[in-house]
Amino acid sequence: MENRETVLVTGGSGFIASYCIITLLQNGYKVKATLRSLKKTALVKQMLREAGITNFEDLSFAEAELSNEKSWENAAQGCQYVIHTASPTPNTDAKTDDDFVKPAVNGVLFVLKAAKNAGVKRVVLTSAFGAVGMGTVKKTPYTEEDWTELNDTVAPYQRSKTISEKAAWDFIENEGAGMELSVVNPTGVLGPVLSNDFSHSIQTIRQMLNGEMLSCPKLIFGYVDVRDVADLHFKAMTMPQANGQRFLAVAGKSVSFLDIAHILRRNLGQKAAKVPTKEIPNWLIRLLAIFNPKLKMLTPLLGSIKHASNEKAKNLLGWQPRGNEEAILATANSLIDLKIVNV
């Protein structure tokens, strides 16, 4: 019997959301995607075509804005599941914590209330590693038991992810009335881009290929392929044992920017001619950060190594992510194919 349940995917034009839509359509679900403006409908369809989706019969759109509670009530009608990926993204224009935190928390609560009123069975929330491993230093890998400690080193975006995820768990506990929640906490998201609208982490590879990054900052992060993030959302939505759990999405061992540069140079030959070959000292970045707000966001992370464990998702849900090298090269090749970089 074919499955005709409908899933609401919020922030439908986003990088993770578009891959969640692809995964759901491929598995026989109907999808209602929310957009801030229905003018973006054509862009979403173009992105899905890029990934091989040709039939849009099971895809519909609804206009919804994180700050507008009523729009979520309308969007959630007739849906059995919600995958909530929409969130204010890292934006250097945000001046205060409130510019991030308020929209993120309100967005989560509006979506959860609307979902509960519509009789939704389970919500899957896209949180972030930023809600797990910031504000602390750990020699061992971070796990789902860890939470970010909200001190001065935590950037507004990561703060917003931490506070909004906690608000979601509180809502389920106090007002959920039996509705289920699972949370996915991705590390840096890489993978094949479908348009110019892609995740923050991909800027690193774009800048390397374009020759905009002359030397690599000494930064070490965990990464994950967007296709595996979508697969983890799907498992978190459909598997009974995922209820009430959070899952770190990370491919494996953390890698440095210099490791990424080496992978690009080793595999892409002449196309990686502009990729940096050495690291920039921390003191120099701290100096340049006085004049550059983008670098300022990086300074608290200099020298820190954040490892994250993917054991829980693998053991509990049978999740099998691609390795770092495959994710990095898929990212680079898609940027080249779509002519987003000049190589």
Check residue 152 and give its pLDDT: 84
pLDDT tens-digit map of 195-211: 887 778 899 999 999 99
Residues with Cβ within 8 Å of 312's Cβ and at least 6 positions away in sequence, in order, are 143, 144, 245, 247, 248
pLDDT tens-digit map of 52-69: 999 999 999 999 988 888
List, as one string, the DSSP characters of 111-144: HHHHHHHTT-SEEEEE--GGGTSSS---SSPB-T
List, as one string, the DSSP characters of 214-258: SSB-S-EE-EEEHHHHHHHHHHHHH-GGGTT-EEEE--SS-EEHH
Among 30, 32, 116, 161, the active-site one is: 161
Domains of the chain: 6-190+224-250 (3.40.50.720)
**Is pLDDT of 40 > 90?**
yes
pLDDT tens-digit map of 140-168: 999 999 999 999 888 888 899 999 999 99
| DSSP annotation of 90 | P
The tokens for 296 are 């300022």
Active site residue 235: no
Check residue 1 and give its pLDDT: 39
Cβ(297)–Cβ(204) below 8 Å: no
pTM score, two decimals? Answer: 0.93
Check residue 154 and give its pLDDT: 85
Q: Which residues pair with 34 in a beta bridge?
A: 62
The tokens for 225 are 């392929």
